[in-house]
């Protein structure tokens, strides 16, 4: 479905790039999207994507935010991010009685960080039923199961609404922001953290990874501000943070907006996003060349392989590289939501299945490459040859 600009409503847009994904047997959102920039205001977004209802179903069924493989526990790097968010927000809250809601809270790690700092009046909302069970089990935090686009109304309004790594996933932004504004007391605060398009190039870890299946809005501070001012908010603070995610670094645009009475009509043209996206494409093509060379070697050797990882990283490579010509015996993924499905008839198996297989394992993930390699060698003590697409984990300091 075509999408008018979510910031200014214009239907005039320039195509920058087409991202393609190979689809898993069931539960795939789509086979790709167009990255476009709006002529009217300069905002960058994914075009020709399904309706919001399809995204809602996807996040209920295919959530990858459950951390099943670590008992729902968050990683040390996520903990660091959550503690840093609490430090940044705290000076803006009157006291520890502030009423806080985290929309799209996953397993409740950020709310737990607020709880640890003395905030007791907290509530989470997440589409995944498994996430809410985990939040209750680990932290005693209540998490209601609702798609982010169908936020209920609450009798008692909130001082702080948190949208952490959520707004880049939402198709119908005006509808969601109107619902979120209704959750806030007059003058209440909205925390939004999204990937920072202005620094995609600076922190390129894997090629085209910012154009993931789930990220459909590419915000700069100018475009995010335009969107929020149009929806009845005023700016309280803007930060450009760098978040550690396992062993990579991610550029984050972190902001606080305040619920205001009026709606601002003046808009600033976003001159930054188109240039940033074009630079990011350049750096992605460069970053991809090493990966493609390794895949070519594997294909030309005619060896049978196993591919560990079935996320965006693999789905893009299957759609765009020679990986689909490789003799792939099976895919492995630790996320139970993917197991039992298949790519063109090749099954997705649990890591336990690897014990009976002798083929080399190609690890297809930048974020979790080292963790997976370590799981194969150290945790599972398996002798399979490991094929890495990025710098060897053994050679890292």
Applying CB under 5 A, which residues contact Zn ion? 5, 7-8, 10, 38, 40-41, 43
Q: Ramachandran region of residue 37, left (φ > 0), alpha (ψ -120 to 50) or beta?
A: beta
Q: Shortest approach of Zn ion to residue 220 CB, angstroms? A: 12
Angstrom CA distances, 64 to 46, 122, 254, 337, stand at 21, 23, 22, 8
Instruction: Please say which residue, 83 or 175, places its beta carbon nearer to Zn ion.
Output: 175
For residue 362, the cross-strand partners are 307, 387
CA distance 219 to 236: 17
**CB 12 → Zn ion: shortest distance, Å?**
8
Helix axes 76-89, 109-116, angle to 10 degrees: 60
Phi, psi torsion values for 194, nearest 5 degrees: -140, 160
Minimum CB distance to Zn ion, residue 119 (Å): 37
Nearer to Zn ion, 40 or 129 (CB): 40
The CB-of-209 to Zn ion minimum distance in angstroms stands at 25
Q: Which is nearer to Zn ion, 38 or 389 (by Cβ)?
A: 38
Nearest approach, Cβ of 231 to Zn ion (angstroms)? 14
Residue whose CB is less far from Zn ion, 52 or 223? 223
Nearer Cβ to Zn ion, position 14 or 70?
Answer: 14
Q: Whose CA is closest to 378, among 396, 393, 389? A: 393
**Dist CA 327 CA 196 (whole Å):** 38
Other C-beta atoms closer than 10 Å to the C-beta of 225 total: 22
Min dist CB 7 to Zn ion, Å, is 5
Query: Which CB, 40 or 347, lies closer to Zn ion?
Result: 40
What burial letters (b/e) apply to 82-114, b meaning 16+ CB within 10 Å?
A: bebbbebbeeebeeeebbbbbbbbbbbbbbbbb
């Amino acid at each position: 479905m075509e999408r008018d600009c979510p910031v200014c409503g214009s239907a005039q847009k320039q195509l920058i790039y087409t991202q393609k994904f190979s689809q898993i047997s069931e539960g795939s959102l789509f086979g790709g999207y167009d990255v476009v920039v709006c002529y009217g205001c300069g905002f960058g977004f994914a075009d020709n994507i399904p309706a919001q209802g399809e995204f809602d179903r996807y996040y209920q069924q295919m959530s990858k935010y459950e951390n099943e493989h670590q008992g729902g526990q968050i990683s040390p790097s996520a903990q660091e991010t959550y503690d840093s968010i609490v430090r940044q927000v705290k000076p803006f809250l009157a006291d520890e009685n502030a009423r806080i809601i985290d929309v799209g809270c996953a397993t409740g790690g950020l709310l737990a960080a607020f709880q640890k700092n003395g905030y007791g009046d907290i509530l989470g909302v997440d589409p995944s039923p498994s996430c809410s069970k985990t939040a209750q089990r680990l932290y005693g935090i209540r998490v209601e199961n609702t798609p982010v686009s169908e936020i209920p109304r609450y009798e008692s309004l909130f001082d702080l609404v948190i949208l952490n790594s959520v707004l880049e996933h939402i198709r119908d932004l005006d509808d969601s922001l109107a619902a979120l504004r209704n959750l806030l007391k007059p003058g209440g605060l909205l925390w939004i953290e999204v990937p920072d398009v202005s620094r995609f190039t600076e922190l390129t870890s894997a090629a085209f990874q910012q154009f993931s299946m789930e990220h459909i809005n590419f915000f700069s501070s100018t475009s995010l501000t335009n969107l929020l001012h149009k929806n009845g908010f005023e700016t309280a603070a803007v930060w450009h943070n760098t978040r550690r995610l396992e062993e990579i670094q991610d550029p984050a645009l972190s902001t606080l907006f305040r619920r205001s009475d009026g709606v601002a009509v003046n808009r600033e043209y976003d001159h930054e996003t188109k240039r940033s996206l074009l630079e990011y494409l350049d750096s992605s093509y460069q970053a991809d060349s090493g990966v493609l060379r390794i895949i070519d070697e594997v294909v030309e050797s005619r060896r049978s392989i196993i591919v560990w990882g079935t996320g965006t990283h693999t789905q893009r490579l299957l759609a765009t590289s020679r990986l689909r010509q490789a003799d792939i015996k099976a895919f492995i993924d630790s996320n139970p939501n993917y197991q039992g499905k298949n790519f063109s008839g090749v099954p997705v198996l649990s890591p336990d299945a690897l014990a009976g297989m002798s083929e080399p394992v190609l690890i297809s993930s930048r974020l979790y490459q080292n963790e997976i390699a370590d799981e194969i060698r150290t945790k599972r003590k398996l002798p399979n040859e490991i094929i890495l697409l990025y710098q060897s984990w053994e050679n890292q300091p």
